[in-house]
Structure 1
Amino acid sequence: MKVLLVSMPDVVPVLVHEAAVHIPNLGIASIGGNIDSEHEVFLVDLIRKRRSVKKYLTKIIGKIKPDLVGLSAMAWQYDTCIKIAHLIKDMHPDIQIVIGGYHATLMAEEIADSPQSRWIDYIVRGEGEEVCRRLVNGLAGKDTFSDIPGLSFRNESDGKFIHNPRAENLDLKTIKLPIRDKRRLTWGYHLMNASIETLETSRGCTRSCNFCSMKNMYGRSFRIYPISRVLEDIDDIYFNRKVRSIFITDDNMVLNPKRVIELCDAIIARGYKKLKFFVQADCVTMAMREDMVAKMAAAGFCSVFLGIENGSKKNLSAAGKGDIVAASRKAIDNCHKYGMMVIGGLIFGFPEDDVESITENYQFFKEIGADAAYCQIITPYPKTGMREHLLSLDLVTNRTDLKKYNGLWANVRTNFLDSDALQYHFWYQRQIVLGWWKPPNTVKKQGKLWTWIWLFAFKPILKLHYRRVMRKYGWQGRYKREIERLERMNTFTDLNDY
């Protein structure tokens, strides 16, 4: 069997322009690495082919002639996923299509009952490594579809989908290394000017955040890879790929501090040179365990994303976060003490948000001293507690256009702001309160070249550009131009016919 696994081209710019960060998709790489070796597997990350999706897929599918194409998508990527499935079926009707990922897991029944399901042959729900391995074997006549937990497939008699029972969470000790060799057909992954790879050391999260889809994927569980397996993964990246920057995809790596310290000790003992790790973690653990933070810094962890979310106790409670304001401050202090950069996550659009509270949240962020902000508007992701809560209050204004469910768009209103006003003040107050980014010392030490380029090249040019824009258009005109740019960002014109 020939298998082609594809991730979507849609992106969300976190801190910088969407072209500045292209990180390889670990999901399809792990699934591909766990398909039995008797089959041929290829990977394509369409993030590297954003402006030639149809042309590239037409070429590569014609060359490989796969028997099965797997498409992975989040909710906001699903529209593109279906267009690609349509494209492939139009070109090669005999190719089987399987979709998977968070959206397919949460919305399998709705997808199966939709008109777009005619482009889909199989749906993988939950973790994909074992389900996809058995699906491929089933297509080769060596397994039975009805016996594969987590698989949805068509009934031969009426064509309707049969949804097998949900599979149990995998034992991570059994998962093989992801694909990072020549079977990956797209290259050039980068964080600014540095090559970057991804790995995971654990799966799941036990926190109670009600805006997150994680518990629908894994349940409220936390599982870890053996340290020996993590080191094997790092060795593959460091020695075989010659890459020195690694993004750890764990949802919350630090839930087991003792294990983090053990892992860091093992990394330090390996003696890697100039190896940098980027990770996401919760504020409470990073605040309470300074010893862990110190060990992480010693092992090469240089940047951490913290889910600060909001400065309001009421809003934090609504998000299921509890009062973590003090923990946020302490976590940032701990990270800075050991030279780690902090990217703070902020969420806006809670039911009681007005213009003043949006301003105060940005001011709170500025006060606590995080190095950079990743700002989002509450998104009513399918099957989350937050969605149900906001629906009960009649605050969800966009219930169906999932393409805008990526955190950048106001799909909700508040008790004081309609969606348009929320969208505007989310953008405007950031410009007023946070202003131009000023690289802190932690960032200057980690990236002297890019800091210099920002301070003495990009920033002066951008300031001059926006000065002209402001003279010509004012705040409203500048905002309109920015919204139009974001609208174009994930528009792939060569797929418009699908």
Structure 2
Amino acid sequence: MKVVLISMPDVAPLIIHEAAVHMPGHGIACVGGNIDPEHDVYLIDLIRKRRSIRRYLTRTLTRIRPELVGLSAMAWQYDTCLKLARLIKTILPEVKIVIGGYHATLMSEEIAASPEAALIDFIIRGEGEEACRRLVNALAGKDDLASIPSLSYKADGRFVHNPWSGTLDLDTLRLPIRDKRRLTWGYHILYSKIELLETSRGCTRTCNFCSMKHMYGRTFRTYPIKRVLADLDDIYYKRKVRWVFIVDDNMVLDPQRVMDLCDAIIRRGYRKLNLVVQADCISMSRNEEMVKKMAQAGFRSVFLGIENVSRKNLAAAHKGDIVTASQKAVEICHRHGIMVIGGLIFGFPDDDEADIVNNYQFLNTIDADAAYCQILTPYPKTEMRQQLIDQGMVTNPDNLKRYSGLWANVRTRHLSSERLQYLFWYHRQKVLGWWKPSGRVRSQGKGWTSIWTFTFKPFLKLYYGHILRKHGWIGRYERELKRLAKMNYFPDLEN
């Protein structure tokens, strides 16, 4: 049986320009890698085909003629997902379409009851490896749809939702696909090749703005270190890639396991390996020996979820007071040469303009190397969403295409959503200003930091200086909004 798995073309450039980073879809690679080998599986990451989606898919799907196409999407990508489903049904009217990922998991009942359900044949809820493997076998006549946990399928034109399977045993999963079955290539971070690696799944933290528990429950599971090393060998030796982004939700929840993994990586003797990870401030601030081991193993950058420096906002997000922890975590990372990307969220109910300024100033105070800033987003089925709705703070409950973190879908008690959007942008320009690569950053990429410092930044400063003199801050902001609005608009999917 022929299967094509597709990830969405939509991007959310919360750190740097959308053209600077293109990462492969790890979810579809994992699902595809666990479909039984007698089936032909192909992967398409549409992030590499953003300008020619219709032409590329028409040519590729007509050539392969798959019997099943899988689509994976987040909430803010779901509108594109539906447009792709319509296009695919036009190209191959008889093909079956299965959707999965976070949005399909959280909103399966709503999707099943919607008019768009006519485009969709199956929904996989939660982790997709085993359910999709069995679905493909069932379509080949070797399994029964009604007995596949976490699968939703149609009977007499209506969706039937099988019981949830629970979480998977990670020991049983095969490696993700990175070979010639991946039809799209060219993944990069600032034009250095990059691949994705997973060492664990889940998070036990209680942040109420996060939808993680709906996918995995509040669990933390790890892959065997032997399996992680086999995955890293595949990336390093077979794919010849030296930059690896670890996609774990919160890798450092078990510090001893992290140190054991780092020791294993160090013994492997990889040269010029660069690892990037996301972590929580508490674990990083309390385990300097772990951070030291991470640096020795090749961890070059870490994203720290600081979220907010207001104690009332942290309490509202169920984060606890992590301001001191975040300061210490950054200090420890810098002591061992690890670059820190500080993550902040703006737009909590009590935020005013001073809070926005204070949060940006905090990033300067702790000497963060880069900023990952977004606006509080009422993601479907999260506790935070319901609280914000009850308080009358959600101004856009339905247009999920704007749920990428770039857009203000909420107001505060002091700021309209329009004012919040503007001040979020304006004070980033005024307080953070033009990015100045630190010595830590320059040591990781002398070439591209020099190009930025001596070529792109001077040009952009002249360009935006001209716009500012001609149109003022409001005019410059309005031009930026128009650019963002067009970013994930794909004209060739509209007809």
Equivalent residue runs for 1:299-448 within 5 Å: 299-448=297-446
Equivalence for 2:67? 67
Deviations 1:13-59 (A, max 9, x none): 13211011000111000000000000000000000000111111101
Secondary structure of the residue aligned to 1:345 is strand
CA offsets 1:346-403 (integer angstroms, 9 cap, x no match)? 1000000111111111111211111110100000000001101101101000000000
Q: What is the rounded CA distance, in whole Å, between the counterparts of 1:364 and 1:345 in structure 2?
A: 11
In structure 2, which of residues 159, 162, 174 is the aligned counterpart of residue 161 of structure 1? 159
CA–CA separation in structure 2 for the residues paired with 1:396 and 1:171: 38
Report the counterpart of residue 57 of structure 1 in structure 2.
Answer: 57
Q: What amino acid maps onto 1:41 in structure 2?
A: V
- Please give the alpha-carbon distance, in whole angstroms, between the structure 1 residues aligned to 2:69 and 2:340: 38
Q: Which SS does the other structure have where 1:369 is aligned?
A: coil
- Aligned-residue offset at 1:450: 1.1
Q: Deviations over 1:60-99 (max 9, x none)?
A: 0001000000000000000000000011112211000000
Moved over 6 A (4+): none
User: Residue 170 of structure 1 is aligned with which of 153, 168, 171?
Assistant: 168
- Scaled by the length of structure 2, the TM-score of the pair is 1.00
Aligned mates of 2:425, 2:465 — CA distance in 1: 17
Aligned counterpart, 1:472: 470
Name the SS of the counterpart of 2:44 in structure 1: strand
Provide the residue aligned with 1:99 in structure 2: 99
1:177-205 per-residue CA deviation (whole Å, 9 max, x = no partner) reads: 00000000000000002100001000000
- In 2: Cα distance, 1:312 partner to 1:419 partner: 19
Quick check: 1:86 aligned with 2:86? yes
Give the equivalent residue in structure 2 for 1:21.
21
How far apart, in 1, do the equivalents of 2:435 and 2:488 lie?
A: 25
Q: Alignment partner of 2:303: what SS?
A: strand
2:470 and 2:317 map into 1 onto residues whose CA distance is 40
What residue is the counterpart of 1:294 in the other structure?
292
Q: Following the alignment from structure 2 to structure 1, what is the Cα–Cα distance between the partners of residues 486 and 354?
A: 30
| Distance in 2 of aligned mates of 1:179 and 1:443 | 31
Q: Which amino acid aligns with 1:84?
A: L
483, 486, 492: which is aligned to 1:485? Answer: 483
- SS of 1:455's equivalent? helix
Whether the 8 Å contact between 2:62 and 2:91 is mirrored in structure 1 is: no
* CA distance, structure 1, for counterparts of residue 59 and residue 319 of structure 2: 47
Q: Distance in 1 between matches of 2:393 and 2:412?
A: 6
Unaligned regions of 5+ residues in structure 1, if any?
none
Structure 1 CA distance, aligned partners of 2:494 and 2:90? 14
Give the letter aligned to residue 463 of structure 2: H
Q: 2-side partners of 1:411 and 1:46: how far apart?
A: 26
Unaligned stretches of 5+ residues in structure 2: none
2:253 maps to a residue whose letter is L
Q: Which residue of 1 aligns with 2:124?
A: 124
CA contact (8 A) 2:14 2:406 kept: no
**How many correspondences in the alignment?**
495
CA contact (8 A) 2:61 2:91 kept: no
Matched residue SS, 1:211 = coil
SS in 1 for 2:234: helix
2 CA distance for matches of 1:394 and 1:427? 24
Identity %: 66
Matched to 2:294, the amino acid is M
SS in 2 for 1:278: strand
Separation in 2, partners of 1:262, 1:210: 31
Determine helix, strand or coil for the equivalent of 1:97: strand
Which residue identity does 1:99 align to in structure 2?
A: I
In structure 2, what residue type is equivalent to 1:182?
A: K
* Letter of the 1:275 counterpart: L
Letter in 2 for 1:113: A
Q: Distance in 1 between matches of 2:92 and 2:99?
A: 17
The CA deviation at 1:474 is 0.3
Kindly state the Cα deviation for residue 487 of structure 1 after the two structures are TM-superposed. 0.3
Aligned partner of 1:2 in structure 2 is 2
* Aligned residue in 2 for 1:202: 200
Distance 1:86 1:200 in 2: 32
Q: Distance in 1 between matches of 2:23 and 2:285?
A: 28
TM-score normalised according to structure 1 size: 0.99
Structure 1 contact 311–365 (Cα < 8 Å) conserved: no
